Amino acid sequence: MKVRIYIILILVFAFVSCNEDSKIEQEIAKIEMNFEVERFDKAFFEAKSQDLQNLKNQYPFFFSSDPDSFWIEKMKDSLQRELLKEVQHEYPDFNTSKTEIQSLFQHLKYYDKSFSIPRVITLTNDVAYRDKTFVNDSIVLIALDNYLGAQHDFYQNIPMYIAENMKKSQIVSDVANGYATKYLFQSTKRTLLDEMIYHGKLLYFKDVMIPFKTDADKIGYSEAQVKWAEANESQIWSYFIEKELLYSTDSKLPGRFISDAPFSKFYLELDNESPGRLGQYLGWQIVRAYAKNTGDDVMKIMQLGSEEIFNKSKFKPKK
């Protein structure tokens, strides 16, 4: 009898919680958030030499002290033309991504009343894939030549585990990550646990700000990799505990479990089956557990230290 009552209480709590989340999302959807996406990439592609000064007036931050002749040559450069042409082909419009970014901005405004709409500008950056987006208080830059799809010819010399996330569905996730780093505070990252919680907070921020995206999109995994991480969560956690890795300051550990990599490095047979960055994944689950147990606001969570989050999370891996 007690078991039945316990199950009923869990179901009631889950229903109330989902209903509350739904009400919040309805409120967020009502927030006005009007902006235009400025297609600098398109403007540069279509520009003639006589249009250069106008472009410089509109986008002074894109132009260095190089003479006009440098930029006019760049307009004519065959490689630049090919790059810009491919971007225009893949992005004749930006409507889908704009809708997702608009929803991100609505969520940001709901949780941070001081948030103001930035300029959103698309461009190309010669496939500098480590700088796909840039975010600050007044501007969001999105380099579209980094989102042409994993199999694009431009990416043939880029490691596949990186190229796999060079696709349209990652745009809003990358922009959200840029905002997450702005809101996040963590005084130290000495131990593996510090690194795990740091990245866990970035991922939990995405849970709240882009709830319409899948877990795979948020962390940059395939659906199969997410399922692998979920299925092996308990074993991964046991490995970290048995090897006493959580509080280790070994400088090699971030490279094994946090940084971008084709797989995580347990030095076991399962390595080649595993996705990279499993330390980030586990940190995410810890922060999720903390949020569920405490009910703390996302903005508060972003400011907390790793020890407090870990101790109060009462984290238990899925079995």
Q: Tens digit of pLDDT per residue, the chain (319 long)?
A: 554 554 444 444 444 555 677 899 999 999 999 999 999 999 999 999 999 999 999 999 999 888 999 999 999 999 999 999 999 999 999 999 999 999 999 999 999 999 999 999 999 999 999 999 999 999 999 999 999 999 999 999 999 999 999 999 999 999 999 999 999 998 778 999 999 999 999 999 999 999 999 999 999 999 999 999 999 999 999 999 999 999 999 999 999 999 999 999 999 988 999 999 999 999 999 999 999 999 999 999 999 999 999 999 999 998 7
Q: Rounded CA gap, 271 and 28, in Å?
A: 42
Enter the tokens of residue 74: 């760049």
Enter the tokens of residue 149: 């799809």
Residue 119 — φ and ψ, nearest 5°?
-70, 135
194 burial (CB, 10 Å; 0-12 / 13-18 / 19+) is buried
Q: Are 236 and 318 in contact (CB under 8 A)?
A: no
Task: Tell me what pLDDT residue 269 has.
Answer: 86
Assessment of whether the complete model's pTM goes beyond 0.85:
yes
Task: Tell me what pLDDT residue 140 has.
Answer: 98
Task: Tell me what pLDDT residue 11 has.
Answer: 47
Task: Tell me what pLDDT residue 306 has.
Answer: 95
Closest CA to 196 of 294, 296, 319, 289: 289
Task: Tell me what pLDDT residue 14 has.
Answer: 46
Task: Tell me what pLDDT residue 216 has.
Answer: 98
Q: Rounded CA gap, 192 and 44, in Å?
A: 45
